[in-house]
Amino acid sequence: MDCRKALSPSKLPEMDYALNPYTGCEHGCIYCYGPGVVHADPSTWRVVRVKRNIPERLSRELPAVNGIIGIGTVTDPYQYAEGRFMLTRMCLEVIARNDREIHMHTKSDLIIRDAELLSTIKGVVGVTLTTMDDRISKMTEPGAPLPSRRLEAMTVLQDAGVKVYALVAPVMSTLEGHEAELMDAVKETGVEIVYYNPLHFRNVDPSRMMRMGISGSERAEDSLVREGRLRGLDVRHVFKP
């Protein structure tokens, strides 16, 4: 498919524009808000559509805009389709040539492929972690790389000079009792900043999570903050200073 615009205004914190090279996402996270945001059918959300012309559209639009470009605001820019189509890579090359700033989100270790390129671009990368338990990860994020691979990506990016933070979002009841383990793993990567966000059901169908007994957890949020700060990490709520 072709897109008519590459960039759209973003209301997310610290982002002026949104760039999503793909529509739909293979990760299949049970807490995904993407379909609700773009008014798509959740039952077909894992069928990925490729915006073939997005690098060319971005090249035309960038000279007329300023501000931070959020990459992966709705779908993961490094989902498996990126390994074949490389649209995220091509968009990053356009951004680098135009000296723009980015704020990227992913839960994929495929980003390691672009570590060198990302080190030349102004901005920050957030890598999402919601658990250290592979079983829980496979239940809640069935198509996404396992937590150990995301931690590896954080280490590689950090070592390459990319500004990286861990994004614990959403904080679910499945994290209770394992907050220290998660913060230890983040600390080992060399990353110093952790953002977290509570689980909410805005733009999300909660029925599947309810059947699985998964909910939000203020207890896990409080423990995450405490354990992170005990380890010298800068732990912040996504929407609070």
Task: Tell me whether residue 206 is in a domain.
Answer: yes
Task: Tell me whether residue 71 is in a domain.
Answer: yes
Average pLDDT over residues 21-47: 89
Confidence of residue 197 (pLDDT cuts 50, 70, 90): very high
Domain CATH code at residue 134:
3.20.20.70
Task: Tell me whether residue 2 is in a domain.
Answer: no
Average pLDDT over residues 78-97: 97
Average pLDDT over residues 104-117: 98
Q: Which amino acid is at 5?
A: K
Confidence of residue 2 (pLDDT cuts 50, 70, 90): confident
Residue with the bigger pLDDT between 12 and 69: it is: 69
**159 token code pair:** 């070592």
Asked whether residue 68 carries a pLDDT value surpassing 70, the answer given is: yes
Average pLDDT over residues 7-16: 91
Number of structural domains (the chain) is: 1
Task: Tell me whether residue 14 is in a domain.
Answer: yes
Residue with the bigger pLDDT between 147 and 44: it is: 147
Asked whether residue 38 carries a pLDDT value surpassing 90, the answer given is: no
Which residue, among 60, 83, 73, has the nearest Cα to 23 in the 3D structure? Answer: 73
Task: Tell me whether residue 33 is in a domain.
Answer: yes
Q: Look at residue 154 in the predicted model and tell me its pLDDT.
A: 98
Task: Tell me whether residue 111 is in a domain.
Answer: yes
For residue 72, the enclosing domain spans 7-237
Task: Tell me whether residue 31 is in a domain.
Answer: yes
What does the mean pLDDT of the chain come to?
94
Asked whether residue 203 carries a pLDDT value surpassing 80, the answer given is: no
pLDDT tens column, 157-183:
999 999 999 999 999 999 999 999 999
CA dist., res. 170 & res. 215, Å (int): 10
Task: Tell me whether residue 1 is in a domain.
Answer: no
Q: What is the DSSP string of 54-74?
A: HHHHHHHHGGG--SEEEESSS
| SS3 annotation, 156-179 | HHHHHCCCEEEEEEEEEHHHCCCH
Asked whether residue 37 carries a pLDDT value surpassing 60, the answer given is: yes
CA dist., res. 182 & res. 164, Å (int): 16
Average pLDDT over residues 204-211: 84
Give the 3-state secondary structure of residue 106. Answer: strand
Q: Hunting for tokens 């995301």 — which residue is that?
A: 150
Identify each DSSP E strand in 107-228 by its residue range.
Answer: 122-128, 164-171, 193-198
Q: Look at residue 241 in the predicted model and tell me its pLDDT.
A: 47
Q: Look at residue 17 in the predicted model and tell me its pLDDT.
A: 97
